[in-house]
Structure 1
C-alpha cells in the first residue's frame, strides 16, 4: 500500500514537471526576440515569470520542468550547443534563485502587503535576473555566438527577464486566486468591461499614430488599480505590454521611425512603469480599504457597547447612587445638636 502511494506521489510530481515544461515552452512563443545579437536577447521573456510562479505554487521539486522547457525552446537546427546550454542553465538558475530569495524573505504570493511587492520586484525580478543574464551572455561571448555589443545584449537580456517576472508573475498569481464572486454586481462588471474596451481601443489608436503616445494608457492602469486592485490592474498591464510589443515587432506607427534599440528601450520602460504602477497602487489601495473596513468594524462594535451600557443605566437609574437617609431616622454619623 505504501509502495502504491509512493508511486502515485512520484507520478504526480512527474506530471507537474511535464506541465511546467509545457507552460514554459508555450510561453516562450509569446516572447519577443530582438533583432540585435541574432535573436539572443529578448526584450520581454515570459518564461521567467512562469517558472517562478510554478516554483512558488507547486514547490521546488518541479524545477526540472523549467530546465526541460528552456532546453526545448533553445534547441533548433541552427543553434549551437554552447548557446543551448547557456540558455538552459541561465533560465533554470534565474527561477530557482528567485524562488530561494523570495522564500528566505517570507514572501506571500497573495501580495497582501507593499513589502511583498517590493520583495517580488527586487528579490524575484531584479537580483536573480542579473545572475541569469550574466551567465547567458558571458557563455555566448566565450563561445563566440554573440555577434553584437556585449553591454547592449546584456542590458536587454536582463531587463527582458526582469519584465517576465514583473509583468507575467503577478498576473498568474492573481489568476490562480480568482474565485467567482458570491454577489453578482452588474454595475461593477459593466465598469470593468468599459475599462478594458476603452483601454484596448485607445491602445490600437495610439499604436497606429506616428507619434509615441503609449503612456496615454496609464490612466486606465490607475483606474483598474483604484477600482479593482490587483486582478484587473495586472491584467491591464499585461494586455498593454503585449499589444505594444506586438506593434513594435510589426513596425507599426511610431516604431517605424526609430532604431531597434530605441524601440526596445521605449517598450521596456513602458512595461516596467506600467507593471510597477499597477502593483504598488493596487496594494496601497487594498491596504487602505482593509484599514478602513477594520476601523468601521471597530466603530460598530464600540457603538454597540455604548448602546448596551446606556440601556443598562436606563433600567437601573439609581443603581450607582448612594441611598439617602429616611426622614425621621437621622444619620448616626452626624453629630446631634441641642
Structure 2
C-alpha cells in the first residue's frame, strides 16, 4: 500500500512537471517567434513568466519542469547541448532569484497583492534575476561562437529587457487568470461585455501599432478602462495583448517603432525603446489596479467601521449573544461529557446465564437523565442482582444523583442477597446528599439455582411479571421513596420464578407516556408489548418497546420523561 502510494505520488509529480515543461516550451516558441537579433534573444521572453508563476503556485516541486522546459526549448531552437544547458540554468536561476527577493521583502508571491509587493517586484524582483539570466545566456552564446564579442552588450541589454518584460507581463498575467477570486466580479452579462471590450481593444491596438503615425498613447485610456472596469483580469489580459501586438509589428518593421528604427538605424535600440514604452504602460496599469483594489479594501473597511459605530448597541448585543452562545456551547460540551460518563456507568456487557436471558434499554428525555440501572452477576454464588432507579426531576442535576447511586451500590454488592439492607445503605450513603431530590428504586436479587427473586421496592413501580400465557402479576411490597428525612423501611418481596416468566423492572416514563389525546400508555399496553415481543432477544424487545412508547408519544421531541426498562426472561 505504501509502495503504491509512493508510486502514485511520483507519477503525479512527473505529470505536473511534464505539463509545466510543455507550457514553458510553448511559451518559448512564442518568444523565439518574437526574436530578432539572435534566434535565442527576444524582446519579450514569456517562459520566464511561466516559470515564475509555476514555482510561485506549486513551490520547489515545479523546478524540474521549468529546467526541462527551458532546456528542450533552447535545444530545439539551437541544437547545442552546452548552450541549451547553460541557458536553461540561467532561466531557472533568474526565476528563483526574483521569487526569493519578492518573498523575502514582502512575504507575498503575487506582485499585484499590494502596492508594496508591486513596487518590490518592478524595481527589485525582476532586474537581479533577469541580469543573471542575460549574463549566463549571452555569455554562453558568445563562448560557443553564436554571438560575436563586440555584440555582447547589445545582445545583453536586449536579453535583459526581454527577460524583465517576461516577468513583468506574463507572470502577473498567469497568476491573475489562475486566481479564481479574480472572477468574482464577473456576472454573465459582464463576461460578455468583457470579451467584446477585449475584441475592440485588440482591433485598436492592431491599428495603432501597424501605422507609422505616432499614436502609441491611444491605448492608455483603454488600459485605464480595463483596470477600472475589470480589475486584475482586465489589466493583465489587456497588457498582454497590447505588448504582444506592439512587439509583433516592431520586429516586422511596421508601425511607429519601425520609424524609430529608420531614424536611429539600430533595431536593438529600437527594441529597448519599445521595452521601455511597454514597461511604463504596464507599470501604470498595474499601479492603477493595485491602488483601486486597496481603495476598495479601505472603503469597505471604512463602511464597516461606520456601520459598527452607528450600530454600537447591536454590536454589544451580538457580543453578549456570542458570550451566551459560547457558554451554551461549553455547557453542551459538558452535557455531552456527562452523557458519556453516564452511558459508561451503564452495564457494558450483559452476562450470559443458562436458563435466563437479560436485556435493557435506556432513553433519556434530555441528553442526560435521572434514570439508572445496573446488573451484577455473582457467578460463584449463582446470584444475579438487578437494580433500577428514578431520580425526581430531569437533566444534569438528576443525572448526577443517578450517578451517585452507582457509587452507593458497591456496599450492597458485598451482601448481594440482602435487598432490604441495600435500600437502607443507599439511604445512608446517598439520600443525605440529594438535597431537594428524592429517589424511587427497586433492589432485586435472583437466586439462579432456586429461581427465587427477592426484591425491595422503595416507592418505585411494582415488580411486573408477565407470564407465558400473556397474563401478568404485579408485586408491590411496602416501601417509601428514598430522601433525607427518614429511611425507606422497605418490606421484603419474594417470588418463585416459573418457566416462561418475564421479570420486568421499569420506570414511570414508560407507563405514564401520553399521546396527543392525553391518554397514558399504561401497564396494559406494556404487558401486551412484552408478550408480543417474547420471541425477540430481550435487548431487541426492550428497544422495540421504547420505540413503541416514543411513537405513542408523537416522537422523541414529545417524550416527557426518561424511558428505562430491564427485562429478565426465564
Superposition TM-score, scaled by structure 1 size: 0.83
Most deviating of 207-216 and 151-160: 207-216
Q: 1:150 Cα deviation (Å)?
A: 1.2
CA–CA separation in structure 2 for the residues paired with 1:108 and 1:76: 31
Tell me which of 218, 221, 234 is aligned to 1:219: 221
Q: Deviations over 1:214-255 (max 9, x none)?
A: 222011111222232211111110010011112123322334
Q: Where does 1:256-335 land on structure 2 (aligned, <5 Å)?
A: 256-257=258-259, 258=261, 259-305=266-312
Q: Of the two, which has the highest radius of gyration?
A: 2
Alignment match, 1:204: 206
Q: Distance in 1 between matches of 2:111 and 2:206?
A: 32
Q: Distance in 2 between matches of 1:250 and 1:272?
A: 20
2:145 aligned partner = 144
Structure 2 gaps of 5+ residues are 317-570
Report SS of the residue matched to 1:214: coil
Bigger share in strand: 2
Deviation at residue 2 of structure 1 after TM alignment: 2.1
Rounded Cα–Cα distance in structure 2 between residues aligned with 1:77 and 1:273 = 31
1:107, CA displacement in angstroms? 1.6
Partner of 1:171: 173
Counterpart of 2:74?
Answer: 74
**TM alignment of 1:1-338, pairs within 5 A:** 1-31=1-31, 32-36=33-37, 38-76=38-76, 79-105=79-105, 106-109=107-110, 111-147=112-148, 149-178=151-180, 181=184, 184=187, 186=189, 188-189=190-191, 191-193=193-195, 195-257=197-259, 258=261, 259-305=266-312
- State which drifts further: 280-289 or 143-152: 143-152
Deviation at 1:109, TM superposition (A): 2.4
Whether the 8 Å contact between 1:112 and 1:287 is mirrored in structure 2 is no
Deviation at 1:3, TM superposition (A): 2.1
Say whether the 8 Å CA contact 1:41–1:157 is kept in structure 2. yes
Post-superposition CA distance 1:250-307 (Å, at most 9, x none): 3223344424224312321222112211211111110011101111111112112268
Separation in 1, partners of 2:118, 2:135: 24
- Deviation digits for residues 127-171 of structure 1 (CA, Å, limit 9, x no counterpart): 211111111112222333213611111101011011101000101
Choose between structure 1 and 2 for higher RCO, CA contacts under 8 A separated by at least 6 residues: 1
Distance 1:169 1:308, change over 3 A: closer
2 CA distance for matches of 1:274 and 1:189?
Answer: 25
CA–CA distance in structure 1, aligned partners of residues 9 and 244 of structure 2: 38
Deviation at 1:86, TM superposition (A): 2.5
Q: 1:123: Cα distance to partner? A: 4.1
Structure 1 stretch 247-256 or stretch 223-232: which is displaced more?
247-256
Structure 1, unaligned runs of 5 or more:
310-338
Alpha-carbon contact 2:86-2:137 (below 8 Å) kept: yes
**Partner Cα separation in structure 2 for residue 113 and residue 144 of structure 1:** 44
User: Higher mean Cα deviation, 247-256 or 130-139?
Assistant: 247-256
Between Structure 1 and Structure 2, the one with more helix by share is 1
Distance 2:146 2:235 in 1: 39
Alignment CA distance shift 1:77-1:276 (3 Å)? closer
1:193 CA drift (Å): 4.2
TM-score scaled by structure 2? 0.50
Q: Is the 8 A contact 1:195 1:220 kept in 2?
A: no
Gap change, CA 1:247 and 1:182, over 3 Å in 2? closer
